[in-house]
Structures are given as C-alpha cells and as structure tokens.
Amino acid sequence: MSRLNPWWLIPALVILGGSLGTEHGHAGTSHLLQALLFGGLAAIALLGASVWPRVGVLLCGAAMLGYFAVGLANGPIFLALPLTTLVAAPRARARLLVPPLLVAGAIVVIGLMLRSAWHGVPWSEGFWQCVGVLALSTGAAFAGWSIGDRSRARAGRARLVATEERLRMARELHDGVGHGLAVIAMHAGVALHLIGRQEHPDEDVRRLLEAIRDASRDSLDALRAELGRLAPGDAVPDRSPARGLADVDVLLDRVRAGGLVIDVRRDPGLAERLPEDVGAASYAIVQEALTNVLRHSGAQRVELRLALEDGRLVILVEDDGPVGSGPVSEGMGLLGMRARAERLGGVLTAGPGALGFVVRAELPVAADASGQGAVR
C-alpha cells in the first residue's frame, strides 16, 4: 500500500480554502457550510488517492457533483478532479483506473449541468467548464501513468543492480573464503593421514585436527548455503540443509576439542518439538555464543541451558571468564544473535552474570510444541 504524500496537503488546502473563499459573504452561513462540506470532501479525496486511487477518484467526483448541484461559485474546485487523477494514476494501472475515472467524469458533468439548470448559470459556460475539467483530467491521467511507468522502471533497474551486486559478492565470497576453507579442510585431512601412519600417534593432536577439518567443512557448507540464499538462481548451489538443535551435539564436541569444558542442561526431545525456523535460529545463537567465548572470554568452562518455559525457548550460555566493569561493546556477533531473535519475535540480552559473561535468548514457540519435559 502506498503512503500518504505530505506534499499533496498544499493543493488540498488550496481547494478547501478556495471553496470557502469564493462563498465568503455571498449567502450567509449555509453556503459556507456547503462549501466546507464539499470542498473538504474534495481535499480528502485528493489526499486519499495516494493510498486508495479508485476510491479517491470516485469521492472527488461525488464532491464536485454536490458542489455544483447546490449552486456554489466557480473556484479552485475545478482543479480537484485533475489533481486527484494526477495523484491516483501513478498508483493504479489504466485498466483499473479508467472505469472510476469515467464515472467521476460523468457525475462532474451532471453536476455542472444541474447547476446550469437549477441556478441560472449559462449553458455555454457549463459546457466549456465540462470540456476543461475532462481535458485536464485526461491529461493528468496520462501524465500520471507516464510518471508511474518511469518510477517502476527505475525501481526495476535498482533491483537489477542490487541483484547483480549480490551475485558479485556471492561469487567473490565463494571464490575467496570458500577456497580458503576448502584448503584448510584438505590440509587437516592430509595431516590426519600422516598421523595415522605413525606408530604412536598423538591422540590430542588427532582430535584437534579432526575438529579443524570438521569445522572447516561445516563452515564451507554453511557458507554455500548462505550464498545460495544471497545469489539468485543456481549461481551458488545450496548443498547444506538448515541446521537445528539436533546438530548441537556435533557443535559441542568440536568446541570441546579445543579444551573448553561445556556443561549442558536441556529438555529431552527438545529438537523434535521446535519449528524449523526456531531450531535454526537457536543453533546459530548457540554457535555464535560459543564462538565468542572461544575468541574473547579466556574462559575454561561454559554452562549451556536449553529449555521450554511458558511457550518460549530459553537459551542460556554463561562462561566463567573475566568480565570488565564497563558497558558491553556489541560487535557483529551479538548484533547478529539479537537480530535472529527479534526476527522471530524474541529477545536477547547479554552482559555480566554470576560466573562471567551471560547470553540469554528467548524465542517464542508454537503452543503445541511447548510441552515441558524433564531436564537432564
């Protein structure tokens, strides 16, 4: 739906004020009230045409019919239908706007003819006024349709440019970051192969290399999936299904391989009771929260809690790392987690807690999926 353009307030006020001005001092308050009524309706029609084009045109025609039928004087009211048409035409295709325009033009003509018949206005004057209003309205309609076509063409070009830019970014990310992740995974695989040939391989090194290999492969799959959404068509194929809470155990094992202790409490069967969008958002929030712990906190232990409470999925990630006394500086990680939560109608808070830094998210869950379960 189009928005009301405040610039059209000026001609609307001119029509209303002009209608009142032409009747000032003519025939007492009755004509002033009639001018206020029909001039006000015409002004409202002009403004409303930017939101409801066909309704605005018909209302304007009705206002002009009433204005002329009661015998009010000439004035800016003659511009009401052309201006309303100019507002409406860019927002409605010709096939939709022509019928109400024909009706509005016909009833304006009827109003002018009634004024000539009932109030002594010369017929020749009424005829040329009809010709003028219809000609101006027709010209305004074609001008408005031309403006609308140019506006839609500009919007189409802007969308095309944006699509091409997204495609360019997707290809560069795929070729640059994707290549780097693939090389990391390959080198980790080669290192694992060489360690496997040793007589007494170091198991700690093996676990770390496996974590590096798996993390790089998962990151490459996630990158391809996101690029598949960013780029149109089949420019970058999406080879990775959306991840959810069912994949959290693999994520936790990978993080634990780096030496971080993670204590987990969650409702049993939780992953199966969540909608797909909630599961994907919760996985991403847990992943980013743990990534922040690894990168910034210097923590040794993390508590992760996943539970359904009052129809909301509660995600709590708390580490035991040192926390500064100043305000929390939010980077891309926290901003991204908050955006994911708010996109689903949830909330996310982050700050100092009892042990260290705490990230808490609450995501709404459908009522039929939020049955409570025991915590393990």
Give 288-323 pLDDT, tens digit per residue. Answer: 888 778 776 677 888 999 999 888 999 999 988 776
The residue range of the domain holding 82 is 6-121
Please report whether residue 143 resides in a domain: no
Q: Where in 237-366 does DSSP place strands (E)?
A: 261-266, 301-309, 312-319, 347-352, 357-364
78 and 114 belong to one structural domain: yes
- For residues 235-253, give the mean pLDDT: 69
What's the confidence (pLDDT) of residue 80? 85
- pLDDT at residue 15 greater than cutoff 80: no
211 and 258 belong to one structural domain: no
What's the confidence (pLDDT) of residue 215? 74
What's the confidence (pLDDT) of residue 5? 62
265 and 361 belong to one structural domain: yes
Please report whether residue 322 resides in a domain: yes
CATH classification at residue 298: 3.30.565.10
96 and 175 belong to one structural domain: no
What's the confidence (pLDDT) of residue 169? 72
Rg (the chain; Cα; Å): 34
Please report whether residue 127 resides in a domain: no
251 and 207 belong to one structural domain: no
Please report whether residue 128 resides in a domain: no
Please report whether residue 336 resides in a domain: yes
251 and 336 belong to one structural domain: yes
69 and 102 belong to one structural domain: yes
217 and 255 belong to one structural domain: no
What's the confidence (pLDDT) of residue 293? 81
Q: What is the dihedral of CA 200, 202, 203, 204, to 10 degrees?
A: 170
pLDDT digits (tens, 9 = 90+) for 61-86: 898 888 888 888 787 888 888 888 88
- For residues 252-280, give the mean pLDDT: 83
- For residues 166-192, give the mean pLDDT: 65
354 and 266 belong to one structural domain: yes
Please report whether residue 131 resides in a domain: no
- pLDDT at residue 26 greater than cutoff 80: no
Please report whether residue 65 resides in a domain: yes
263 and 343 belong to one structural domain: yes
- In this prediction, residue 346 has a pLDDT band, given cuts at 50, 70 and 90, of very high
Q: How many domains does the chain have?
A: 3
- For residues 112-130, give the mean pLDDT: 87
Among residues 316, 359, 357, which one has the least CA distance to residue 334? 359
Please report whether residue 186 resides in a domain: yes
Contact 55, 46 (CB under 8 A): no
Q: Provide the b/e sequence for 6-22 (b: ≥16 CB within 10 Å).
A: eebeebbebbbebbbeb
- pLDDT at residue 186 greater than cutoff 90: no
Residue 213 or 374, more confident: 213
State the average pLDDT for the chain: 78
The residue out of 121, 144, 174 marking a domain boundary is: 121
264 and 319 belong to one structural domain: yes
Residue 116 or 36, more confident: 116
- For residues 168-196, give the mean pLDDT: 66
297 and 324 belong to one structural domain: yes
